[in-house]
Amino acid sequence: MSHEITIRADGFAEAAFAMEPAWHGLGAVLDHAPTSKEAVAAAGLDWRVIQEAVYRKRPVSELTPLTSEYAEVAGHLLNIREDSGLVLGMVGETYRVVQNAEAFEFLDALVEGHEMLYESAFSLYGGRRVVLLARMPGVQTVGKEDHILPYILMSTSHDGAGSIKFGPVATRTVCANTYAVALGEGTTRELAVSHTGDIKAKLGRARAILALASEQFARYAELGRQLAERRLTTDEWVEYLDIMCPRLDPRDPDYTPRRAEALNMTRMQVTSRWVNERQNLEGIEHSAWAAYNAVAEHVDHLPRRGASRRAKSEARFNVTLYGTGRDIKERALRTACKFTGVEYEKAMAI
C-alpha cells in the first residue's frame, strides 16, 4: 500500500491523527490534539526496540563440510521489535537505539510544561521509521484567511538506514505545502542526529537550536505579510515564472521537443496554482506571497519516482522537507523577496 503505515497482524494501524483523518483513512482520529501519552497509546507506539547479536552458519571444518555451527558476526547487531520479533534492520555495534518514548520526551521538552500537543504520530514500514508532528503554541496570520501554523517534525529510523531528523515546519491551513524554516547563520535547516555516540548530548544541542524556532516563525510570517502587500501584474508574474521555470530555448544544445513540452506543462501547472482559490484569499491575491506559494504547492504535490511504492513515499517525504524540493521552495521565496525589495537574509536573521 502506498501509505506504508504499519498494520499489525490483527489489523491495527499504528497511526493517530488529531481532528481529521489522513487521506488513507487508517489509524485513530482523536477529537483533540493529544499529549504524547495519548498519542503513544492511540497510535500503538509503546513498543520497544531491542538488539541481538548476529550469527552466521559455517562449516565446522574443511574435513566435515556437512557439519556446521553458528558463529557470531563481530561488529554487527540486529534491531528487533520486542513485541512482535520483527527484524527492523542490521546495524553496527556503535549504533544507539532511540526508543519511541524517548522521541516523544524530546519533543515534549521543547515547550514549557513539557506537554507538546501532537497533530500526528505513526510508524511506517513495520516500525522501521517513526514520524511525529507536533504543533507549537501560537499562530501567525498573513492574510485574513491565510494562517501559518508552527510545527516541529521529527522522524527516527530503527533500520539503521537513516539518522534522526527534525526541525520546524510552517504549514498553511489552506494547503499542505510546507517550508523548513532556516534557523540562522551557522546552523542547518535540516537537523540530523546520527544513532552513534552520546545521543542525549546531541539532542540537547539540537534543543538549544530549536529554542529559536518560535522567533523564527514570527519572522517568517512577517516576511509573508510584506510579500502579501506587493501585488504582481500579469507581466511580473510571467517574469517570476521565467526565473523559476525558464522556457527552453531551441538554440540550447540540450533542447528536445520532449523537454520543451515538459517545461511548458510545468509552467501551466504552476500558473494554474497561482490563480486557484488558495492563492486568491482576501489580502494575498496576486501578491508575491501568492506567487511563492504557487511554486511551493506545486513542489509539494508533485508525483515522485521510485522503483517501489515505498521508494516513492520516501522520495516525497525527503524531497518535500529535506532535499531539492525544499531548496526550490527557498529559491522561490528569495525570488519573491527580490520582486518586493525585501532583504531575505535581514528579514530572517536572528
Predicted confidence (pLDDT) per residue in 38-49, tens digit: 999 999 999 999
Residue in 160, 152, 145 with CA at minimum distance from that of residue 89? 160
- Do residues 220 and 179 lie in contact, with contact meaning Cβ atoms separated by under 8 Å? yes
In Å, what is the CA distance from 156 to each residue of 126, 251, 292, 295? 13, 47, 30, 29
Angle CA(88)–CA(90)–CA(94) in degrees, nearest 5?
A: 120
What are the extents of the domains in the chain? Answer: 15-48+95-215, 219-348
Among 326, 319, 338, residue whose Cα is nearest residue 295: 326
Asked if residues 337 and 223 have their Cβ atoms less than 8 Å apart, the reply is yes
Give the dihedral sign, CA 9/86/315/18. positive
Say if residues 282 and 146 touch (Cβ distance below 8 Å). no
What are the two backbone dihedrals, phi and then psi, of residue 51, each rounded to the nearest 5 degrees? -120, 140
Cα(40)–Cα(28) distance, rounded to whole angstroms?
A: 11
Angle at 70 between CA 64 and CA 72, to 5 degrees: 135
Mean pLDDT of 253-263: 90
pLDDT given at position 23: 66
Q: Is residue 130's pLDDT more than 70?
A: yes
Mean pLDDT of the chain, nearest integer: 83
Question: Residue 218 — very low, low, confident or very high, per pLDDT cuts 50/70/90?
Answer: confident
Tell me the per-residue pLDDT of 310-324, one tens digit each, with 9 for 90 and over. 455 545 555 555 567
- What letters, b where the CB count within 10 A reaches 16 and e where it falls short, cover 244-267? bbeebeeeeeeeeeeeeeeeeeeb
Instruction: State how far the Cα of 81 lies from the Cα of 103, in Å rounded to an integer.
Output: 16
For residues 298 and 313, what is the distance between their CA atoms, to the nearest angstrom?
Answer: 17
120 three-class SS? strand
Higher pLDDT, 80 or 119: 80
15-29, 171-185, 307-321: least confidently modelled range: 307-321
pLDDT of residue 289: 96
Angle at CA of residue 316, ends 310 and 319, nearest 5°: 130
Q: Is the entire prediction scored with pTM above 0.85?
A: no
DSSP code of 51? E
β-bridge pairing 87-92 and 49-61: unpaired
End-to-end CA gap in the chain: 43
Integer angstrom CA distances of residue 19 from 23, 24, 139, 173, 177: 13, 15, 17, 13, 19
Q: Higher pLDDT residue, 139 or 62? A: 139
| DSSP-derived secondary structure letter, 13 | B
- pLDDT greater than 50 at residue 185: no
Crossing angle for the helix pair 288-300 and 309-321, to the nearest 10 degrees: 160
